[in-house]
Amino acid sequence: MIRRAETIELIRRSVRAVVDKYGSRYWFEKDERREYPVEFVEDLATHGVFGVNIPEEYGGAGYGLFEAAAVLEEIAASPGGMAASNAVHAALFNNHILVKYGRPEVKERYLPDIARGRLKFQVYAVTEPQAGFNTVRISAFARKEGDYYVVTGTKTFISRVKYSNLGILAARTTPLEKAPRRSLGITLFLVDLDKAVGKYIKVEEVPNNLRRFVDTNTLYIEELPVPEDHVLGEVDRGFYILMEESNTERALMSAQCVASGRWVIRKAVEYAKQRVVFPPDPIAKYQGIQFPLADAWMRLEAGDLLKQRALEAIERGEDRKVIGYYANTAKYIACEACYQAARTAMWTMGGYGYSAEMDVERHWRAAELSAGVGQISPHMILNYVATQVLGMPRSYGE
Ligand SMILES: Cc1cc2nc3c(=O)[nH]c(=O)nc-3n(C[C@H](O)[C@H](O)[C@H](O)COP(=O)(O)OP(=O)(O)OC[C@H]3O[C@@H](n4cnc5c(N)ncnc54)[C@H](O)[C@@H]3O)c2cc1C
C-alpha cells in the first residue's frame, strides 16, 4: 500500500509538471477562441498519460483506477480546471472498456498507439436526441452484413469528436420492440473515426459555454461499416457494460470535482486574506466570508471519501450493488460540493470572481455541467438510491 501511495505521488508530480506549464493565460485564450487545447493534450500524451491504465503488455503503465484518478485530479486542480480534465477524461474511461471488453486482436492493434498517445480515444457516443437518460430508447441501429455491422442513426451531445481518432459507439442490434427485455439488444462498437468522419459521419457542433474549448456535437451517422471484431463485449448486452462502466466514469468524475472544488476554495481563501475593503481588516476576517468556505471545504472532504470508497469497490470487484451505491453517491455529493465551492469562491471574490481572467468562473461553468447533466443527473441518482437502495417503487417508465 505504501508503495502504491509513492507511485501515485510520482504520477501526480509528473502530471503537475506538465499542467504547470499551461497557466491562466493559456486557458483564458483557449476559452476565448473556443479552441481545443491541442498543445496541452499532446504534452500529456508524450508523458504517457493516455497509457496510465493500459496494461504493460500493450505498452501502457499498467496502473489502476486510483492512478487514473490522480492524473485527472492534477489536471482539474489547475487554472484550466475541470474543463481541462474533461478535454481528456473520456480516454481513461474508454481505455477501461477496451481493455476489459475488446477482442485480443483489436486490443493488440490499437492499445499500443493509444498508450503512446498517437491515437486519441476520446469519444463515447451514447446519447441520442430522443433517448436522453433513458438509454434503452436509443435507436441508432447496426445491421449485420457479412463480417461487418452497418450503423445508421443520430447521436447528440457527443464530446471531443474533433480531436479523437477512435470512439465507442452504442447502437441497437435488436430493435427495442423485438428485444426479450428492454435492457437487451444494445451493442457497443469501437469506431475508427479517422475513416468514418466526413464519409459516414457528419459532425455538427452543439455550441455551449460550459466548456468552451471542449467541442460537443451532434453526429449524423449514415451506413457506417464497423468490422465485426470491433464489437466490445457480447452482442446485444452492451447496456450492461454501459451500466457497469458508468460507475467507473462517475467515480472518476467525483475525483475531478473534488480536485476542482479544493482548488477554487484555496484560491478564494488566498484572495480573501489579501483583499481589504473596509480597512484595516481583510475580508477573510469576516465570518460571513469564512463560514461558507469552511462549509464547502467539508462537503468536498465527504465527496473525496466517497470517491475513494467507490474506486476501492470497483477495483476490488465488490458486489455490483455496492459499486453502484458508492459510485452514484460519490458523484452526487462530490459534484454538488464542487458546484457549491465554485459559487462560494466567486461570491468571496466579488466582481473579480466573475472575471474570466481569475479562472474561478471557468471552474464554476464546468462544475455546473458536472453537477447537472454530466454523465448522470442528480434526479437519476436520487431515483437509483430511492428504488435500488431504499427499495421504494419506481415512479416512472415500465
Ligand atoms: C456539454 C455536454 C457534453 C456531453 N457529452 C456527452 C458525450 O460525450 N457522450 C454522450 O453520450 N453524452 C454526452 N452528453 C449527454 C449527457 O451525458 C446526458 O446524458 C444528456 O444530456 C441527458 O439527456 P437529455 O439532455 O436529453 O435529458 P433528458 O433525458 O431529456 O432529461 C431532462 C431532465 O429530466 C430529468 N429526468 C429524466 N427522467 C427522469 C426521471 N425518471 N425522474 C426524474 N427526473 C428525470 C433529467 O434528470 C433532466 O433533468 C453531454 C451533455 C452535455 C450537455
User: Is the C-beta atom of 19 inside 6 A of ligand 1?
Assistant: no
Is 315 domain-assigned?
A: yes
- Determine the pLDDT at residue 397: 84
User: Is the C-beta atom of 132 inside 6 A of ligand 1?
Assistant: yes
**Listed residues 96, 120, 144: the one ending a domain:** 120
CA of 230 to the centre of ligand 1 (A): 27
Whichever domain contains 89, its CATH number is 1.10.540.10
**Which phi and psi angles does 376 have, rounded to 5°?**
-155, 150
Per-residue pLDDT of the chain (398 residues; tens, 9 = 90+): 568 999 999 999 999 999 999 999 999 999 999 999 999 999 999 999 999 999 999 999 999 999 999 999 999 999 999 999 999 999 999 999 999 999 999 999 999 999 999 999 999 999 999 999 999 999 999 999 999 999 999 999 999 999 999 999 999 999 999 999 999 999 999 999 999 999 999 999 999 999 999 999 999 999 999 999 999 999 999 999 999 999 999 999 999 999 999 999 999 999 999 999 999 999 999 999 999 999 999 999 999 999 999 999 999 999 999 999 999 999 999 999 999 999 999 999 999 999 999 999 999 999 999 999 888 999 999 999 999 999 999 998 86
CA distance 384 to 398: 15
Contact 51, 112 (CB under 8 A): no
User: Is the C-beta atom of 127 inside 6 A of ligand 1?
Assistant: yes
**Listed residues 85, 120, 155: the one ending a domain:** 120
The DSSP result for 314-376, as a single string, is HHHT--HHHHHHHHHHHHHHHHHHHHHHHHHHHHHTGGGGG-GGGSHHHHHHHHHHHHTTSSS
Which residue, judged by its Cα, is nearest atom 25 of ligand 1? 132
Which residue, judged by its Cα, is nearest atom 32 of ligand 1? 132
CA of 211 to the centre of ligand 1 (A): 16
User: Is the C-beta atom of 338 inside 6 A of ligand 1?
Assistant: no
Q: Please provide the size of the chain in residues.
A: 398
User: Is the C-beta atom of 396 inside 6 A of ligand 1?
Assistant: yes
Does this model's pTM top 0.85? My answer is yes
Ligand 1 atom with the smallest distance to the CA of 208 is 1
User: Is the C-beta atom of 86 inside 6 A of ligand 1?
Assistant: no
**Listed residues 188, 216, 236: the one ending a domain:** 236
Domain count, the chain: 3
CA of 283 to the centre of ligand 1 (A): 39
Is 396 domain-assigned?
A: no
